[in-house]
Structure 1
Amino acid sequence: MKTSTSEGKHGIQWTAQNQSDDLDFADDLALLSHTHEQIQMKRSHIAAVSGSVGLNIHKGKTKVLKYNTENTKPITLDGETLEDVESFTYLGSIIDKQGGSDAEVKTRIGKARAAFLQLKNICNFKRLSVNQYQSENLQYERQTFLLYAAENRRTTTTIIKKVKVFKNSCLRNTLNIHWSDTISNSLLWKRTNQLPVEEEIRKRRWSWWIGHILRKSSNCITREALTWNPEGKLKSGRSKNTFVVFE
């Protein structure tokens, strides 16, 4: 990868001196560029370098996401056009043109709701204690689906509210509390030994995510991302065209 991106500046501006050409995780690679020509050049170079050591790029798994551009020219590899997409799943999270976390949160709530409904019979079994409810239902719903990778996502007041409403609804159903019964959120959380959503996400960030990041060197891109701000100022009109290719 370093050999393929070492010639010229074809990435997106990261700091005053550095550009970000790619994001890597194991054998998943995301290439970043501002123009069609740059991304095509980078794509061809990487294909040539990887081919020289016996590695081939899977064309069917390589997708192109174009943001804020009217350019309709296709990105090709060995004469074949790579598929343009509106969104896709990368490392378990949804990436789309809108950015942010709205699509991902909507999907997470949907998956958590499906899991909750599968365990509905457990909730309706009144002989179970609150602690049994928690171990059989809440932990499964909350940790596995609802807040999966929540420490990595951008959170807004609207997103927190959506997650909180769903979680509280699950808690009320678990305790067989009718919708007309008045009970405060704080009392509901106390009775089920749960943390508020924003507190749970904050706890995950400090104990799971930030600890890993702070162990990185000071010039590592993941460490810089904690305090990173885009260079320069916003200009009137649309922003620069950006092409993103994910494999």
Structure 2
Amino acid sequence: MSTSEGKHEIQWTFRMQLNDLDFTDDLPLLSHMQQQMQEETTSIAAALESRNIHKGKSKILRYNTACTNPITRNGEDLEDVKTFTYLGSIIDEQGGSDADVKARIGKARVAYLLLNNMWNSKQLSTNNKVRIFNTNVKTVLLCGAETWRTTKAIIQKIQVFINSCLRKILQIRWLDTISNNVL
């Protein structure tokens, strides 16, 4: 089902844009104008009337706008939020990826700590420990990374986390002088 007659997108950077993102039971509507968003919301609600759309799950996130007029569905205002989770990624009102990267680093840290016995194991080779790290921690860290709006600061945060984990796995002490490039 098409959300509207035309294609809608948000310009993210000079070369990149975010297009309609329709998935199963999640349907984000992208719009440049409040009136257009209201029309799309009304149209979708009418088309899916028999499917009982949950009002509590319908949210509005405003990006780069001064307009605060409410978006309504069936006469009720939809809730304005500063962030929401869409397909496991955190979307925020700044349009950046900082919140999602922070959450991913937290989840990867939990995955890393759950494998603490492996990192301390004398039976596993260093090579196998690094392979386990790459498959069980890095995958958690980088899940959804293809959608991130990467900046130098974000890349640095990710690299700091990876280097910190590798230094512990490789038993490199803080006083040992080993550059990140060698690591």
* TM-score, reference length from structure 2: 0.83
Identity of aligned residues (%): 54
Q: In the alignment, does 2:85 pair up with 1:86? A: no
Q: In the alignment, does 2:145 pair up with 1:150? A: yes
Distance (whole Å) between structure 2 residues aligned to residue 112 and residue 130 of structure 1: 20
Q: Which has the higher contact order (CA 8 A, sep 6+)?
A: 1
Checking the alignment, whether the CA contact within 8 Å between 2:112 and 2:133 is kept in structure 1 is: yes
Q: In the alignment, does 2:4 pair up with 1:5? A: yes
1:30 matched residue in structure 2: 28
Checking the alignment, whether the CA contact within 8 Å between 1:10 and 1:38 is kept in structure 2 is: no
1:115 match: secondary structure = helix
Checking the alignment, whether the CA contact within 8 Å between 1:123 and 1:133 is kept in structure 2 is: yes
Distance (whole Å) between structure 1 residues aligned to residue 157 and residue 19 of structure 2: 35
In structure 1, stretches of 5+ residues that fail to align are 15-19, 189-247
1:105 match: secondary structure = helix
In the superposition, relative to structure 1, how do residues 165 and 89 fare at CA in structure 2: closer, same or farther (>3 Å)?
same
**Aligned positions, number:** 177
* TM-score, reference length from structure 1: 0.63
Checking the alignment, whether the CA contact within 8 Å between 2:130 and 2:166 is kept in structure 1 is: no
1:175-220 CA distance string (max 9 Å, x none): 11111111233332xxxxxxxxxxxxxxxxxxxxxxxxxxxxxxxx
Distance (whole Å) between structure 1 residues aligned to residue 51 and residue 103 of structure 2: 34
Alpha carbon RMSD of aligned pairs, Å? 2.4
Distance (whole Å) between structure 1 residues aligned to residue 170 and residue 64 of structure 2: 47
Distance (whole Å) between structure 2 residues aligned to residue 24 and residue 78 of structure 1: 22
Checking the alignment, whether the CA contact within 8 Å between 1:24 and 1:30 is kept in structure 2 is: yes
In structure 2, stretches of 5+ residues that fail to align are 12-17
2:177 matched residue in structure 1: 182
1:83-102 CA distance string (max 9 Å, x none): 11000111111111111222
The correspondence for 2:137, drawn from 136, 141, 145, is 141
Pairwise CA distance, 1:29: 1.1
The correspondence for 2:40, drawn from 27, 39, 42, is 42
Pairwise CA distance, 1:163: 0.9
1:57 matched residue in structure 2: 53
